[in-house]
C-alpha cells in the first residue's frame, strides 16, 4: 500500500511540474499558413476566423523574423543581409514560400527564413 501511495505521489508531481520545451515551427507548416495569408490579402479566400488567424501568424512571424535578422546582421560578422527598406511583408512572404518549396531539406521555419534572407538579400561587396 505504501508503494502505491508513493507511485501516485510521484505521478502527481510529474504531471503537475511545468515543463519547458523549445518551441519549433516547421517550415512547411509556416509556408502553408503563409499561402493562406497571401490568398487572404489578395481576396482569393474568405475572411474566416481560421484564415485570419493563419494570416496573422504568418505576417507576425515574417515581420518578427525580419526584424531579428536585421539586428543579427548589425551584430554578427558572419551573417550579413541587406534587406531593402522598401521590401514589403508580402514580398518576403512570397520569397519565403518559394524558398521552402525549393529547399524542403530545411525543416525549421527559422532556419529556412534566415537562409532565404541570406540568399535573396546578400549584401553587395
| Residue 1 placed within a domain | no
Give the pLDDT score at 37: 95
Give the structural domain span for 90.
25-120
pLDDT of residue 17: 54
The total domain count for the chain is 1
In a domain, 39, yes or no: yes
Please give the DSSP secondary-structure letter assigned to residue 108.
B
Q: What pLDDT, on the 0 to 100 scale, is given for residue 78? A: 81
pLDDT tens by residue, the chain, 125 residues: 665 565 555 555 555 555 544 457 899 999 999 999 999 999 999 999 999 999 999 999 999 988 888 888 788 888 788 888 899 999 999 999 999 999 999 999 999 999 999 999 988 76
Instruction: Decide if 51 is inside a domain.
Output: yes
**How far from 120 is each of 58, 91, 98, 102, 123, CA to CA, in Å?**
19, 11, 11, 13, 9
- d(C-alpha 42, C-alpha 111), whole Å: 27
Assigned domain for 85 exists: yes
Q: How far is CA 91 from CA 16, 67, 124, 125, in A?
A: 44, 15, 20, 24
pLDDT at site 24: 77
Percentage above 70 pLDDT, the chain = 81
Q: Which residues pair with 81 in a beta bridge?
A: 122
Is residue 99 domain-resident?
yes
The phi, psi pair for 122, rounded to 5°, reads -65, 140
Q: Is residue 41 part of a domain?
A: yes
Residue 75 lies in a domain: yes
Whole-prediction pTM: 0.77
Amino acid at each position: 500500500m505504501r508503494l502505491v501511495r508513493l507511485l501516485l505521489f510521484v505521478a502527481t508531481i510529474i504531471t503537475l511540474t511545468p515543463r519547458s520545451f523549445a518551441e519549433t515551427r516547421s517550415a512547411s507548416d509556416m509556408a502553408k499558413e503563409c499561402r493562406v495569408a497571401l490568398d487572404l490579402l489578395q481576396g482569393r479566400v474568405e475572411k474566416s476566423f481560421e484564415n485570419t488567424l493563419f494570416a496573422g501568424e504568418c505576417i507576425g512571424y515574417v515581420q518578427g523574423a525580419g526584424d531579428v535578422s536585421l539586428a543579427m546582421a548589425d551584430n554578427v560578422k558572419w551573417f550579413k543581409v541587406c534587406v531593402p527598406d522598401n521590401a514589403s511583408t508580402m514580398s518576403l512572404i512570397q520569397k519565403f514560400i518559394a524558398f521552402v518549396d525549393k529547399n524542403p531539406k530545411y525543416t525549421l521555419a527559422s532556419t529556412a527564413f534566415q537562409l532565404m534572407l541570406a540568399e535573396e538579400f546578400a549584401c553587395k561587396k
